[in-house]
């Protein structure tokens, strides 16, 4: 349906389409974890809106965007699309909400984006800024801008770069492999160490990515790490307030690996230490309540080699680890001792807090051995 100022119409239609395809995957012999969305021009804005705004169960696994409108910023949007979707008098707040380059997170699906350099209707800057936002968040994406073609060439046989574009698209689609339908879902919960901060290619070399390769095709490992987050709900940046936490619950994992506590050791966070075990229990109970009834592992925080950024290894080893041990015992959960595994190897921690690629491999191996034993 066309919006005519009511943006909920096309958005709800697209979300309904995603739900129908996923719900019918078995009947249609599709992999429900390999469902993409494709759109061109204003339809590209709709496709990227579903990719950036939809709930996890309605979010596509990849997006293919032909000369898409991405932004609602009046300086370089397509005003017809802007007015049709949001209305002529849209507020700055609404424009920001539907400027999709500003809504990208690390959970946004991978993207294939194509423009022509001489597109006068939708400036390629739309796609450039979207690509940069995806790249900044560690989301795999490619952007192709062909020398000529104008706008709307997807429906024209005479597009000069048609064969080249189709070859690029085919190669891109073949470059990633969807999880198996029956794959064991593994959720890696954590802070910047889980996320892969300070690792150049975190999509390949963060510990969850390495763990995924170790476990093989029978497992689907997802990285739900968020930098600087605390387990403590009264901490400066509580993990349980993050979208990543809700996404992890929606993932309905079979296995959960929780590695939090490093940032809790900061003095301004640890003043709330009386709540640490209670907040950890809250997180455990939330995962226990999921339909998959996951196996939950609690990790001891990895070694901190210096009181950098106020992180305190004495608090980690003498207070936080005993609390985690107590909660694990109460809930009959297995512990993964990353503190011991990462001790004695300061050369693998360039900033004394975050492991490098070799350190991430050791973490992944330690977690792997616990999951597979």
Sheet holding 219-225, edge to edge: 219-225, 184-190, 255-259, 295-300, 334-337
Closest CA to 189 of 228, 264, 244: 244
> Which pLDDT belongs to residue 5?
74
> Which pLDDT belongs to residue 32?
93
Whether residues 133 and 19 share a domain: the answer is: yes
Tell me if 29 is assigned to some domain.
yes
> Which pLDDT belongs to residue 6?
87
User: How many domains in the chain?
Assistant: 2
Closest CA to 124 of 133, 114, 132: 114
Q: What CATH number is attached to the domain comprising 14?
A: 3.40.50.1820
Q: Considering 148, 174, 200, which residue would you say is the last residue of a domain? A: 174
> Which pLDDT belongs to residue 339?
99
Whether residues 17 and 154 share a domain: the answer is: yes
With contact defined as beta carbons under 8 Å apart, do 364 and 206 qualify? no
Q: From residue 359, give the alpha-carbon distance in Å to each of 190, 308, 349.
A: 16, 18, 7
> Which pLDDT belongs to residue 195?
96
Tell me if 35 is assigned to some domain.
yes
Stretch (H or E) spanning 143: strand 141-146
Whether residues 143 and 208 share a domain: the answer is: no
Whether residues 128 and 207 share a domain: the answer is: no
Tell me if 3 is assigned to some domain.
no
Tell me if 324 is assigned to some domain.
yes
Tell me if 2 is assigned to some domain.
no
Q: Helix or strand or coil: residue 19?
A: helix
Whether residues 43 and 19 share a domain: the answer is: yes
> Which pLDDT belongs to residue 307?
60
Q: What CATH number is attached to the domain comprising 222?
A: 3.40.50.1110
Q: Helix or strand or coil: residue 93?
A: helix
Q: Considering 133, 152, 174, which residue would you say is the last residue of a domain? A: 174
Whether residues 168 and 190 share a domain: the answer is: no
For the question of whether the overall pTM of this predicted structure is more than 0.75, the answer is yes
Whether residues 168 and 212 share a domain: the answer is: no
Mean pLDDT by 10 residues, the chain (373 residues): 85 98 96 96 98 96 98 96 94 97 95 98 98 94 97 90 96 94 97 96 95 97 97 99 95 98 97 99 99 99 84 97 99 99 97 97 99 93
Domain residue limits at 115: 8-174
> Which pLDDT belongs to residue 309?
67
């Amino acid at each position: 349906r066309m919006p005519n100022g009511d943006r909920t119409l096309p958005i709800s239609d697209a979300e309904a389409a995603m739900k129908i395809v996923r719900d019918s995957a078995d009947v249609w012999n599709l992999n429900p974890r390999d469902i993409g969305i494709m759109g061109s021009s204003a339809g590209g804005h709709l496709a990227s809106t579903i990719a950036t705004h939809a709930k996890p169960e309605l979010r596509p696994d990849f997006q293919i965007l032909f000369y898409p409108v991405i932004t609602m910023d009046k300086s370089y949007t397509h005003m017809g699309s802007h007015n049709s979707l949001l209305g002529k008098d849209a507020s700055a707040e609404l424009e920001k909400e539907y400027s999709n380059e500003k809504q990208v997170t690390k959970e946004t699906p991978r993207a294939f984006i194509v423009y022509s350099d001489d597109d006068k209707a939708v400036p390629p800057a739309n796609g450039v800024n979207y690509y940069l936002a995806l790249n900044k968040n560690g989301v795999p994406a490619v952007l192709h801008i062909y020398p000529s073609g104008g706008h709307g060439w997807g429906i024209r046989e005479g597009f000069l770069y048609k064969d080249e574009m189709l070859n690029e698209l085919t190669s891109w689609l073949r470059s990633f492999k969807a999880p198996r339908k029956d794959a064991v879902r593994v959720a890696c919960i954590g802070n910047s160490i889980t996320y892969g901060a300070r690792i150049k290619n975190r999509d390949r070399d963060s510990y969850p990515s390495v763990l995924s390769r170790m476990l093989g095709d029978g497992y689907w490992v997802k990285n739900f790490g968020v930098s600087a987050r605390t387990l403590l709900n009264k901490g400066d940046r509580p993990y349980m307030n993050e979208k990543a936490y809700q996404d992890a619950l929606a993932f309905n994992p079979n296995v959960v690996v929780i590695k939090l506590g490093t940032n809790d050791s900061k003095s301004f966070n640890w003043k709330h230490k009386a709540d640490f075990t209670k907040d950890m229990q809250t997180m455990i109970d939330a995962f226990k309540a999921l339909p998959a009834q996951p196996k939950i592992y609690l990790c001891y925080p990895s070694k901190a080699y210096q009181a950098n950024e106020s992180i305190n290894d004495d608090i980690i080893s003498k207070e936080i680890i005993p609390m985690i041990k107590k909660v694990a015992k109460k809930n009959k959960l297995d512990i993964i001792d990353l503190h011991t595994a990462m001790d004695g190897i300061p050369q693998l921690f360039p900033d004394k807090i975050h492991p490098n690629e070799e350190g991430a491999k050791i973490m992944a191996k330690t977690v792997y051995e616990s999951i597979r034993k």
